């Protein structure tokens, strides 16, 4: 059994011509249909043609006097109804008269919808090593730790307000900082895993792992921080993919709400599908110790499907195992502004690497 996630719901709306109906339900007026888009007036913007909704993707652009706001149908609902991302999805179900199912059940109405069917051929050559399904954890897990900021992370630049949003806490039972992983498009309390960071000094001397899953889950089926940063990603038009959770937390504390984390450096097919479904540019920002050929291999999964870029430390600004997010804003901006677009030349470089690898 699986969840009716955000991108499947979008496809249901598109295929069943529900866009105009939804706009009416959320209070939009002066709705006009054109070949590729709808134009309308929203409750928060006076101009009758200021808001554009693309028919093929449900992406939104709101044109103001001096700038424009980007997003999608969910961010529009979030703004108009003052909802967080998971509640916007649930509200959409209510508008459409659909029952909202958890991630362990499915809907008979739209279970066959697959917005990513056009990408399956492109991703077919990649093997996914994980086939487990996500499961929502019992509410009892919240009793096992107390939500509170970790002072050492505050010193590293992860603000208490960020730690509160992401639910960082402390488990006295395991003496670990607790990092909850939320399902990327589930309810706000839909936790799929808990990761613990030990507080024991000299933990390596006692063969104690620094990070350990208190509640293990198939990490290949989810992306950390995507639920919390969904709106920021849609507004900016790109998602930044890091390895560790702390990188997403550090960037969030600097008001950069575009981050998500793999919880490692491997990218699964399911994670690639999720990133593709966001319909934004993809920026790969792995740690310093990951080779350029490996990074290109990840970018290859999106080549010809989405605009994809990568950050690469050609000037030696990072330590051996540092993430770009570990550095202060000036260095991060240098790396970010010099991001490399994975184009045909990059693609050919990767193919040459594969040829040489096979020849050995």
Query: What residue numbers bound the domain in which 308 lies?
Result: 221-359
Which of 176, 192, 217 marks a domain boundary?
217
Is 122 part of any domain?
A: no
Backbone phi, psi, residue 284, to 5°:
-90, 125
SS3 letters across 55-84: CCCCEEEEECCCCEEEEEHHHHHHHHHCCC
Task: Tell me, yes or no, whether 190 and 98 share the same domain.
Answer: no
* Stretch among 35-44, 61-70, 102-111 having the lowest mean pLDDT: 102-111
- Beta-carbon count within 10 A of 310 CB: 21
Task: Tell me, yes or no, whether 74 and 161 share the same domain.
Answer: no
Tokens representing residue 74 in the block: 């969910």
If we measure between CA atoms, which residue out of 240, 236, 186 comes closest to residue 72? 236
Task: Tell me, yes or no, whether 199 and 319 share the same domain.
Answer: no
Q: What local confidence, expressed as pLDDT, does residue 26 receive?
A: 94
Is 130 part of any domain?
A: no
Task: Tell me, yes or no, whether 274 and 340 share the same domain.
Answer: yes
Task: Tell me, yes or no, whether 194 and 286 share the same domain.
Answer: no
Is 29 part of any domain?
A: yes
The domain total for the chain is: 3
Is 61 part of any domain?
A: yes
Instruction: Indicate the burial class of 292 (C-beta count within 10 angstroms; 0-12, 13-18, 19 or more).
Output: middle
Position with higher pLDDT, 331 vs 108:
331
Query: What three-state secondary structure class fits 109?
Result: coil
The model scores a pTM over 0.95 = no
Segment 167-217, tens digit of pLDDT: 999 999 899 999 999 999 877 888 999 999 999 988 988 889 999 999 999
Segment 29-44, tens digit of pLDDT: 999 999 999 999 998 8
**For residue 334, pLDDT beyond 80:** yes
The answer to whether 308 and 265 have CB atoms below 8 angstroms apart is: no
Segment 219-268, tens digit of pLDDT: 999 999 999 999 999 999 999 999 999 999 999 999 999 999 998 999 99
Specify the CATH number for the domain of residue 313.
3.40.1360.10
Position with higher pLDDT, 63 vs 55:
55
Q: What local confidence, expressed as pLDDT, does residue 132 receive?
A: 67
Which of 217, 238, 263 marks a domain boundary?
217
Segment 259-310, tens digit of pLDDT: 999 989 999 999 999 999 999 999 999 999 999 999 999 999 999 999 999 9
Task: Tell me, yes or no, whether 72 and 154 share the same domain.
Answer: no
β-sheet with 308-310: strand ranges across = 259-261, 238-242, 281-284, 308-310, 340-341
Task: Tell me, yes or no, whether 227 and 324 share the same domain.
Answer: yes
- d(CA 18, CA 47) in angstroms, rounded, equals 23
β-sheet with 37-41: strand ranges across = 29-33, 37-41, 51-54, 59-63, 68-72
Tokens representing residue 158 in the block: 């992860």
Q: Name 281's bridge partners.
A: 238
Q: What local confidence, expressed as pLDDT, does residue 101 receive?
A: 60
Q: What local confidence, expressed as pLDDT, does residue 23 receive?
A: 95
CA angle 124, 130, 133 (to 5 degrees): 110
Position with higher pLDDT, 113 vs 356:
356
If we measure between CA atoms, which residue out of 8, 1, 2 comes closest to residue 274? 8
Position with higher pLDDT, 1 vs 306:
306
Q: What local confidence, expressed as pLDDT, does residue 188 receive?
A: 81
Specify the CATH number for the domain of residue 39.
3.90.580.10
- d(CA 219, CA 10) in angstroms, rounded, equals 24
Q: 77 Cβ partners below 8 Å, 6+ apart?
A: 26, 83, 88, 91, 92
- d(CA 304, CA 177) in angstroms, rounded, equals 41
**For residue 49, pLDDT beyond 80:** no
**For residue 318, pLDDT beyond 90:** yes
Task: Tell me, yes or no, whether 251 and 157 share the same domain.
Answer: no
Task: Tell me, yes or no, whether 206 and 232 share the same domain.
Answer: no
Is 133 part of any domain?
A: no
Segment 128-178, tens digit of pLDDT: 444 567 788 877 788 889 999 999 999 999 999 999 999 999 999 899 999
- d(CA 104, CA 186) in angstroms, rounded, equals 11
Q: What local confidence, expressed as pLDDT, does residue 189 receive?
A: 83
Q: What local confidence, expressed as pLDDT, does residue 118 receive?
A: 44
Which of 217, 244, 277 marks a domain boundary?
217
Task: Tell me, yes or no, whether 243 and 146 share the same domain.
Answer: no
Q: What local confidence, expressed as pLDDT, does residue 190 receive?
A: 87
Is 210 part of any domain?
A: yes
Q: Name 61's bridge partners.
A: 52, 70
Position with higher pLDDT, 162 vs 102:
162
The answer to whether 247 and 323 have CB atoms below 8 angstroms apart is: yes
Task: Tell me, yes or no, whether 13 and 99 share the same domain.
Answer: yes
Q: What local confidence, expressed as pLDDT, does residue 104 receive?
A: 46
Q: What local confidence, expressed as pLDDT, does residue 112 receive?
A: 38
Is 172 part of any domain?
A: yes
Q: What local confidence, expressed as pLDDT, does residue 229 receive?
A: 97
Instruction: Tell me the CA distances in angstroms from 330 to 248, 258, 307, one per residue in order.
Output: 17, 18, 25
**For residue 358, pLDDT beyond 90:** no
Q: What local confidence, expressed as pLDDT, does residue 1 receive?
A: 38
Is 1 part of any domain?
A: no
- Average the pLDDT over 6-24 and give the result: 91
**For residue 120, pLDDT beyond 60:** no
Q: What local confidence, expressed as pLDDT, does residue 141 receive?
A: 82
Residues in the chain, overall count: 360
Q: Name 29's bridge partners.
A: 41
- d(CA 16, CA 11) in angstroms, rounded, equals 8
Task: Tell me, yes or no, whether 232 and 288 share the same domain.
Answer: yes
- d(CA 330, CA 166) in angstroms, rounded, equals 25
């Amino acid at each position: 059994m699986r969840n009716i996630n955000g991108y499947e719901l979008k496809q249901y709306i598109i295929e069943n011509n529900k866009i105009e109906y939804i706009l009416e339900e959320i209070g939009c007026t002066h709705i006009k249909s054109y070949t590729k888009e709808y134009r309308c007036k929203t409750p928060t913007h006076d101009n009758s043609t200021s808001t554009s909704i693309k028919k093929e993707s449900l992406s939104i652009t709101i044109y103001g006097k001096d700038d424009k706001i980007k997003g999608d149908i969910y961010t529009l609902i979030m703004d108009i109804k003052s909802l967080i991302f998971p509640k916007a999805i649930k509200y959409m179900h209510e508008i459409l008269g659909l029952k909202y199912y958890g991630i362990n059940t499915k809907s008979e109405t739209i279970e066959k919808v697959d917005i990513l069917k056009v990408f399956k051929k492109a991703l077919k050559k990649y093997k996914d090593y994980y086939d487990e399904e996500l499961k929502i954890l019992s509410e009892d897990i919240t009793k096992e730790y107390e939500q509170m900021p970790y002072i050492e992370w505050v010193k590293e630049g992860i603000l208490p307000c960020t730690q509160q949003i992401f639910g960082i806490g402390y488990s006295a039972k395991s003496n670990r900082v607790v990092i909850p992983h939320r399902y990327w498009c589930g309810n706000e309390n839909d936790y799929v895993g808990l990761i613990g960071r030990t507080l024991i000094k000299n933990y390596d001397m006692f063969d104690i792992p620094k990070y350990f899953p208190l509640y293990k889950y198939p990490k290949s089926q989810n992306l950390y921080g995507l639920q919390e940063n969904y709106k920021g990603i849609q507004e900016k038009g790109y998602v930044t993919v890091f390895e560790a959770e702390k990188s997403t937390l550090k960037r969030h504390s600097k008001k950069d709400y575009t981050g998500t984390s793999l919880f490692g450096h491997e990218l699964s097919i399911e994670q690639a599908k999720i990133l593709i479904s966001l319909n934004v540019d993809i920026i790969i920002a792995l740690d310093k110790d990951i080779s350029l050929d490996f990074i290109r291999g990840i970018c290859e999964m999106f080549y010809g499907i989405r605009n994809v870029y990568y950050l690469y430390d050609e000037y030696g600004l990072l330590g051996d195992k540092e993430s770009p997010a570990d550095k202060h804003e000036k260095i991060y901006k240098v790396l970010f502004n010099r991001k490399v677009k994975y184009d045909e030349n990059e693609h050919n470089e990767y193919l040459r690497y594969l040829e040489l690898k096979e020849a050995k």
